[in-house]
Amino acid sequence: MIIITDAHISKATGNYAVFFKMLESLERNSQDLIFLGDIFELWIALPRYEEKIHRDFIAWCRRQKSHRTIGYMEGNHEYYLANERASDFTWCSMNAWRRDATGALFVHGDRINRKDKNYLAFRKLAKNKVSKFIICRLPFGPKITISLKQGLKKTNTKFRLRLPKAEVEAFAQARFAEDVNVIFMGHFHQQYLYRNRDAKELHVLPDWFSTQKVTIYRRNSKEIKHIHWEDVGT
Ligand SMILES: [Mn+2]
């Protein structure tokens, strides 16, 4: 399978062009594809808030999911996706993590640091049903995106920039104790590997935004590698 995380694509930065070029090249293989969150710099999955880049991405996923698995973990820059867009993917989850039948676990990572109380409170508020109801009906709709972005900036700058290794390891150990074999985490924009005494591994994946790397995980051989998307092949 191929895992892609933290692309933070937006119209403003223009990085969507390379991203869609990558999607086109990934059509040559049929491996499972998992988007691990924050694929967009901002995605509010409500009619007035979606832009062409979101709609183009959805169209691509709908076409691809007819012959391969397309999974999506909602990140902290993405809102209401799991409610509004679930049918456009093979699966879409807003849970803190998702575990598959083989014991692989996928987690965006923004809820790992329990000390980041401001962020967790902001998250709860921004992602709940009441907020969605209000945002849906605001007369000046899309302007809310400005305050959402400011909210994200204010709440987690201090925590986002450093990898909370103790919390990441505690999370890994708790999941490994529940028979999880391998963990893939995004969010921190920093590649990192934690391996416990039983050689079980948690991988924090490189962010696509600054590296254009994707992660290849071969279930049979357990091989894991992070490579540039142009080197993926078939
Ligand atoms: Mn994130």
Residue 218 confidence (pLDDT)? 95
Burial class (CB in 10 A: 0-12, 13-18, 19+), 178: exposed
How far apart are the CA of 111 and the centre of ligand 1, in A? 9
Spatial distance between the Cα atoms of 68 and 117, rounded to a whole number of angstroms: 38
| Average pLDDT of every residue of the chain | 90
User: What span, in angstroms and rounded, lies between the C-alpha atoms of 90 and 70?
Assistant: 5
- List all residues 6 or more positions away from 223 whose beta carbon is below 8 Å from its beta carbon: 216, 217
Query: Which helix (H) or strand (E) element contains residue 149?
Result: helix 144-160
Among 149, 152, 91, CA closest to 121: 152
Across 32-41, 123-132, 160-169, 198-207, least confident range: 123-132
Give residue 220 CA to ligand 1 midpoint distance, Å: 29
Distance from the CA of 108 to the center of ligand 1, in angstroms? 7
Distance from C-alpha of 159 to C-alpha of 189, rounded to nearest angstrom: 12
pLDDT at 161 (0 to 100): 59
Expressed in angstroms and rounded, the spacing between residue 6 Cα and the centre of ligand 1 is 7
Distance 188 CA to ligand 1 centre (A): 7
pLDDT exceeds cutoff 90 at 152: no
Q: Cα–Cα–Cα angle for 217, 200, 184, nearest 5°?
A: 45
Q: How far is the CA of 103 from the centre of ligand 1 (A)?
A: 23
Q: Is the pTM of this model over 0.85?
A: yes
| Nearest-5° Cα angle at 181, 115 to 27 | 95
pLDDT the model gives residue 129: 75
- Asked if 155 contacts 124 with a C-beta cutoff of 8 angstroms, the reply is no
The Cβ of residue 135 has, within 10 Å, a number of other Cβ atoms equal to 20
- Cα of 219 vs centre of ligand 1, distance in Å, is 25
Residues 95-143 have pLDDT tens digits of 999 999 999 999 999 999 888 888 888 888 888 877 777 777 776 666 6
**Using 50, 70 and 90 to split pLDDT, how confident is the model at 159?**
very low
DSSP H or E stretch at residue 184: strand 182-185
Domains present along the chain, CATH in parentheses:
2-231 (3.60.21.10)
